[in-house]
Amino acid sequence: MNDDYKACLREHGLKSTKARNGVLDILSRETSVVTVETVYAALLEQGCKVNFSTVYRILEMFTERKLTEKIFLPDEGKYGFSLRRPGHTHRLICLQCHKVVDLAHCPLSDYEKEVAQKTQFDIVGHNLELYGYCPECKKGR
């Protein structure tokens, strides 16, 4: 398992270190978008002594290397990160527990074309996130 992380890091042109393996480990057992703070806390909890700024640097680097995705969480006013799973397009995020469901189908490409034509913009991308409450969290509401 540790080897997997090593290989994964290597593929992305990154050295394997205790901290990076730890971050990878945490993200991979996580179905939520997690904040830097959460990752940091989880690292400490599993005995990996790291610095806050290291976690920032790792997550930033991972994002740059397309290993993770950086998402602004409007309800928190800060960024969250999650492993980038191939083939995903958009996300459904639980407002309570931050669980994330990847939505494979993107309904927007036709829409983008239509808008591009109407507005004469060059459209280079979009943000789409759905928000709601997951089956567990919606029970308690």
- If the CB atoms of residues 7 and 130 are measured against DNA, the closer one turns out to be 7
Task: Using alpha carbons, select from 80, 50, 42 the residue that is nearest to residue 63.
Answer: 80
Angle between helices 36-45 and 18-28 (to 10 degrees): 110
Question: Which residue from 58, 65, 60 is spatially nearest to 17, judged by alpha carbons?
Answer: 58
| Cβ neighbours for 129, distance < 8 A, ≥ 6 positions apart | 71, 90, 91, 92, 93
C-alpha distances in Å from residue 75, one per residue of 2, 12, 26, 81, 98? 34, 31, 23, 15, 10
With CB under 7 A as the contact rule, the residue among 8, 32, 41, 56 that binds DNA is: 56
Is residue 89 involved in binding DNA (CB under 7 A)? no
Cβ atoms within 10 A of the Cβ of 100, count? 24
Could you tell which of DNA, its own copies, none binds residue 2, using a CB distance below 5 to 8 A set by kind?
none
Selection from DNA, its own copies, none that 20 binds (CB < 5 to 8 A by kind) is DNA
Residue closer to its own copies (CB basis): 28 or 74: 74
Interaction between residue 112 and its own copies (CB under 8 A): yes
Q: What x-and-dash track marks residues 10-49 binding DNA by CB under 7 A? A: x---xxxxxxx--------------xxx-----------x
Residues of this chain that interact with its own copies (CB under 8 A) are 72, 74, 92, 94-95, 101, 103, 107-108, 111-112, 115-116, 119-135, 138, 141
